[in-house]
Chain A
Amino acid sequence: MSANFKNTGFGSALRRFGMAGAIGLVLFVIGVTLFYSDSFQRLAAAVGTDVDLPDAPGAEVAQANRAAMHAASAAWAKDVQVAAPHIPVGIDGFFAPPTDDEIPDGPFGEAVLRGRDIFNNTPKFAAQYSGNSQSCVNCHLDAGRKVFSAPLWGAYPKYPMYRGKNKKVNTFQDRMHGCFTYSMNAPASPAGGPPPLGDQVYLDLEAYAFWLADGTPAGQTLPGAGYPKVAKTELGYDYERGAKVYAANCALCHSADGQGHIEAAGNVRFPPLWGPEAYNWGAGMARIDTATSFIKYNMPLSQGQTLTDQEAWDVASYINSFERPADPRQVGTLEDARQTFHKDEQSYYGKEVRGKIIGHGVSRTTVAAE
């Protein structure tokens, strides 16, 4: 019996404990080193677990990268032997557009500020040309900055561009002319149409877009630009399925009747999605595929990419299955306009929905009369 306890004296136990303590310390150090090394994050990324973003405020990182870009740009202008500037990016890896505190003083900065105001509250700051309750910012979130929401910094460097919609090379102003005509439903505005080319509204918006694109390489397609396409699903789209998706995910803000919420002071809190205050039948968003892309990547607000592709298609078809202001290009019959302007697109224009052909359009006066 005594043989079993031969090496278990108090001194030996202390020695063993000391050794264990030392190994423990080594284990702890190894653990800490592993945790703070990249390998841990790489492993987490490899198995598909979300790795927390760095703790620094997103804006701070973006601003630091922008400052570095400006410094490198100035150095490069003096000496081409130094490294050319990088495109500034944020913590998400996408382009970092300037923040409002970078708006310069002087006439150009004033134009940028006016453009920003028009962009964020079109019915108020471009009242003359606004025919509904929509603002640019409704589809171009974060004041035209958000990735996958057709950010201005992604769009501006791509113009002039040939567009199939009007079969000509479009300047950035031509493009905005289209936005006012269709998305802002300018035919119903006090002016009766969009601002004429060269109008101050365009100059201000263009100044804002140009300023937001500071640091982008002209002509290049940047990641995060536009609305990414969503693949067609096997089931196709169905507005009746979409009604359920809408009730569960959209009605909280846009309300069950799709009319959104307008504050007492007139500010549009949640934009109307159909009816006379929405974009008209000629707008890109009236096409189900475009609406699907926008919804999939941006809605519900702050929860982009949480709906399935199927849900996004269905709910987009639901939203675009209601009447909205008429397509201003329609001169003859609805069927003529469908053949000419809507033939190969994914929309319900001129088609039967809930037993009725839709696309004739609704206006503020017709709705008020009902």
Chain B
Amino acid sequence: MQHDEHRDLSKVDRNFEPYEPYRPVPLLLIAVACSLAIWGALTYIDNLTTAEQFVSRITPVSAEPVMPAAELAEGLGNASPETLTLVQAGRDHVWSCASCHGAAGEGTATTPRLAGQLSDYLLKQLVDFRDGTRDNAHMIYVAKALDEDEMHELANYYAQIRLPSRVGPRLDGDLERGRQITHEGDWKRNVPACVQCHGSGAEGVEPSFPVLAGQQPEYTFSQLAQWHAGARGNSPQQLMDKISQAMTPEDMRAVADYLATLPLDGAPASQIQ
């Protein structure tokens, strides 16, 4: 019978080993892993030393007492009570603008100065944060809690604040190189002069080109770096993406520091044509 044939134990292979035999990991695979590990370790050490050098180069902030920005600013009360509440106290779980950007919108380090910024530009950024076309966890959280009218009012409020520049170079950038990029550009790298679009004193050009003069240098640098790395993508026509990608980190530091030296009183800096 066919059944019996199948049960014929004499046909069973007695040497059959049901477990996978041990096979050593191929030598080349370990070798590749080793080379990657060497690469990784060296990159890590390299980054570590660069970061240390960078931190050590940053000029320590002066310990002298400075007058609070709110005492020098004009226009801090020029908004509806609702808007001022958003600015100063926030709403529900959403924190106030002033809690990060300062009592007069003066900003600090990588938190940008808002005082005197173009209204249209500020509004576009709020909308972009809300719509997810500009990335920043804090600002997305805040912008989603605002309606369009509130965005308009906040943008108008910060645009009308008058506050002298409160920053200077802090990134140890090459100021002469920064001046060159700001006023002449580096066309061999396809980098136009900042002032060509942002105004002859980098004072901003309505409606799309924001004020750069007197901005926190850390913020300017961080934004250039984000465009350079593709982390910020809401510049119209990708203008700043491509310009930043053509810039070296040294150039970004130089230009961020130089822009921080420019005055905000409308008086053009020297060398402006």
Tell whether, in the assembled complex, residue A300 and residue B237 are in contact, meaning their CB atoms are under 8 Å apart: yes
A111 within 8 A of partner (CB)? no
Q: Is the CB of A53 within 8 A of B189?
A: yes
Inside 8 A of B139's CB, which chain A residues have their CB?
none
Residues of chain A in range 312-362 having any CB-CB distance to chain B below 8 Å = none
Tell me if A145 is interfacial: C-beta within 8 Å of chain B: yes
Can you name the residue of chain A whose Cβ is closest to the Cβ of B22?
A4
Residues 37-64 of chain A: 1 if any B CB is under 8 Å from the residue's CB, otherwise 0? 0000000000000000101011101100
B188 touching A91 by the CB < 8 A rule?
yes
Is A218 among interface residues, defined by CB-CB distance under 8 A?
no
Q: Name the residue of chain A whose CB is nearest to the CB of B206.
A: A261
Contact string against A for B residues 230-241, beta-carbon threshold 8 Å, 1 for contact and 0 otherwise: 000000111100
- 8 Å CB contact of B237 from A4, A145, A249: A249
Interface residues of A in 273-325 (CB under 8 A from B): 300-304
Shortest Cβ distance from A103 into chain B, in angstroms?
A: 13
Chain B residue numbers with a CB within 8 Å of A240 are none
Q: Are A16's CB and B24's CB within 8 A?
A: yes
On chain A, the residues within 8 Å of B237 by CB distance are 248-249, 252, 300, 303
- 0/1 interface trace, chain A 137-170, chain B, CB 8 Å (1 if under): 0000111011100000000000000000000000
Bound together, the chains give a CA A270 to CA B22 distance in angstroms of 74
Task: Tell me if A269 counts as interface (CB < 8 A to partner B).
Answer: yes
Q: A57-B250, A142-B185 are in contact. Are A20 and B190 (CB under 8 A)?
A: no
Contact in complex: A59, B186 (CB < 8 Å) = yes
Q: Verify if B177 is at the interface (C-beta below 8 Å from A).
A: yes
Contact check, B189 vs A91: say whether CB atoms are below 8 A apart. yes
Say whether A20 contacts B200, CB under 8 Å: no
In the bound complex, do residue B30 and residue A17 qualify as a contact, i.e. CB atoms below 8 Å apart?
yes
A residues neighboring B (CB under 8 Å): 1, 4-5, 8, 16-17, 19-21, 23-25, 27-28, 31, 53, 55, 57-59, 61-62, 90-92, 94, 96, 100, 117, 120-121, 141-143, 145-147, 248-249, 252-253, 261, 263, 265, 267, 269-270, 300-304
Considering the complex, which residues of chain B in the window 1-60 have a beta carbon less than 8 Å from any beta carbon of chain A?
A: 17, 21-22, 24, 27-28, 30-39
CB distance from A234 to the nearest CB of B (A): 27
Known contacts A27-B34, A261-B205; 15 additional CB pairs below 8 A are: A19-B27, A21-B31, A23-B28, A24-B31, A24-B37, A25-B35, A27-B31, A117-B273, A146-B187, A147-B187, A263-B200, A300-B237, A302-B192, A302-B242, A303-B237
Do B188 and A90 have beta carbons less than 8 Å apart?
yes
A58 touches B35 (CB 8 A): no
> Given A4-B21, A23-B27, A265-B268: A300 and B200 within 8 A (CB)?
no
The 6 residue pairs across chains A and B that have the minimum distance between CB atoms: A24-B34, A58-B188, A20-B30, A23-B31, A24-B35, A27-B35
A92 to B200, CA, bound (A): 27
CB contacts (< 8 Å) of B184 on chain A: these are 100, 142-143
CA distance A5 to B17 in the complex (A): 14
Q: Are B186 and A57 in contact (CB under 8 A)?
A: yes
A-B pairs with beta carbons under 8 A, tally: 120
Residues of B within 8 A of A21 (CB): 30-31, 34
Which of A20, A23, A92 is B188 in contact with, Cβ under 8 Å?
Answer: A92
Contacting pair A62 B188 (CB below 8 A): yes
Among A5, A121, A142, A147, find the residue whose CB has the most chain B CB atoms closer than 10 A.
A142
Pick from B32, B242, B273: contact of A27, CB under 8 Å:
B32
Report if A302-B191 is in contact (Cβ < 8 Å); known contacts: A27-B32, A120-B273. Answer: yes
C-alpha spacing A142/B242, complex, angstroms = 18
Whether the pair A252, B188 counts as a contact (CB closer than 8 A) is no
Residue pair A57, B251 in contact (C-beta under 8 Å): yes
Contact of B27 among A16, A25, A59, A61 (CB under 8 A): A16
In the complex, the answer to whether A142 meets B187 with C-beta atoms within 8 Å is yes
Could you pull out 13 A-B pairs where Cβ atoms are within 8 angstroms?
A20-B31, A20-B34, A21-B31, A23-B31, A24-B34, A57-B250, A58-B186, A58-B191, A142-B187, A147-B187, A301-B197, A302-B190, A302-B191
Judge if B180 is at the interface, Cβ distance under 8 Å: yes
Chain A residues contacting B246 (CB-CB under 8 Å) are 53, 302
Query: Cβ of A24 and Cβ of B38 under 8 Å apart?
Result: yes
Pair B187/A252 contact, Cβ less than 8 Å: no
The closest CB in chain B to the CB of A53 belongs to B189
- From A5, A24, A58, A91, contact of B33 by CB (8 A): A24
B273 touches which of A20, A25, A121 (Cβ 8 Å): A121
Say yes or no for B226: interface residue by CB 8 A criterion: no
Instruction: Provide the bound-state CA to CA distance between A61 and B188, in Å.
Output: 10
Residues of A within 8 A of B188 (CB): 58-59, 61-62, 90-92, 94, 96
Q: How far is the CA of A35 from the CA of B192 in the complex (A)?
A: 31
Note all chain B residues with C-beta closer than 8 A to A1: 17
How far, in whole Å, are A269 and B196 apart by their CA atoms in the complex?
A: 7
CB distance from B257 to the nearest CB of A (A): 15
Complex-state Cα separation, A212 to B28, whole angstroms: 59
Question: CA of A120 to CA of B248 in the docked complex: distance in angstroms?
Answer: 27
